[in-house]
Structures are given as structure tokens and as C-alpha cells.
Structure 1
């Protein structure tokens, strides 16, 4: 609603596909240096992932109805994932 009021339109939704196990592993590793106590507790991390999925699935499904969701492989090196994202963005800006 806010986007329509501002006359903005979402052209594409880039969805990074990462397995739950990979997400848990990344956050547990981040917890070693982040200082965030919730990054060191696997059950808290899994609850956060479940909440994220519950809240974002509705949005992704909405934009999927308009063929605006592009799934990007979110596992690999930072450079590999960056390239995939950059390529998708450049494709849409051409």
C-alpha cells in the first residue's frame, strides 16, 4: 500500500536460497565473534529462521504471482554469490 501511495513499483525480488543447515552453521560461526548471545544458541537461531520464513513467505508468494521473484543460489563464496546477484541486477537494468 505504501509503495502504491508513493507511486513506486517493485521490479524484482531477489531471493537467496540457502539451506537451513547452512544458515545455522553461518550464524553459529558468526556468534563466535559478533558478541550477540543469540547467535550462539542453535534453538534460538532455528526459531529466528522459522519466524523469518513465516513472515517472508507471504511476501514472496505475492510477488511470485507477478513473476517477479528470482531465486539465487545463496551458498558458495561471497564472491560467487555477489556475481550471481550482480548479474541478475545488471540483466534487469539493461
Structure 2
């Protein structure tokens, strides 16, 4: 099973050799430094405003709609994280050929 569907991790102590961080110690959330840059506005706000002024399903409407969808996909791709244990590196192949000696 992948990590997204695995049951909650059991809270049993882990043997620790004294090196590195103690795995039994609860992890404190990291604090982020305050950013002095102004918050970036959502690039789709203006596109959605323009989309509302266009005739639905016209060529221009579809062009703006596709830009909005592309931006949503880009934002999702930036957030999406897949752990390496969830996706096999090479799918098993049934079409393996070879020679027998």
C-alpha cells in the first residue's frame, strides 16, 4: 500500500544508537521566516474577470479558459509530492524475452 492509504503509524519506541536526531522525540514544526516581499496575487483573478466578459464558449473564451486551467495545473504540480516508495521505479513487464543457455 502507498503511504497515503497506510494506517496510522504505530507509536512504539524505536531503538536509537545515539547518533543524529532521536526518532522517538516528537518533531516540532519548523517556523518560517517572515517574508518581506509582498504576497503574490493569484494570476487567475484577472483572467477570471476577463472570462466573465467574453461570450461563453467563443474562441477567445476558450483561450482564456485554457490559460486558467494551465495555471491551476501548474499550481497543483508545484504542491504535489509523490514519495519514492509509492511509485515503483520500473513497472513489472510481462514481455521479458531472453535466451536460455
Tell me whether the two structures share a fold, i.e. TM-score over 0.5. Answer: no
User: Where on the TM-score scale, by shorter chain, does this alignment land: which range?
Assistant: under 0.3
Task: Kindly name which structure, 1 or 2, has the bigger radius of gyration based on alpha carbons.
Answer: 2
Q: Give 1 or 2: higher helix fraction.
A: 1
- The TM-score, its normalising length taken from structure 2, stands at 0.25
- The TM-score, its normalising length taken from structure 1, stands at 0.26
Q: Point out which structure has higher relative CO (alpha carbons under 8 A, 6+ apart).
A: 1
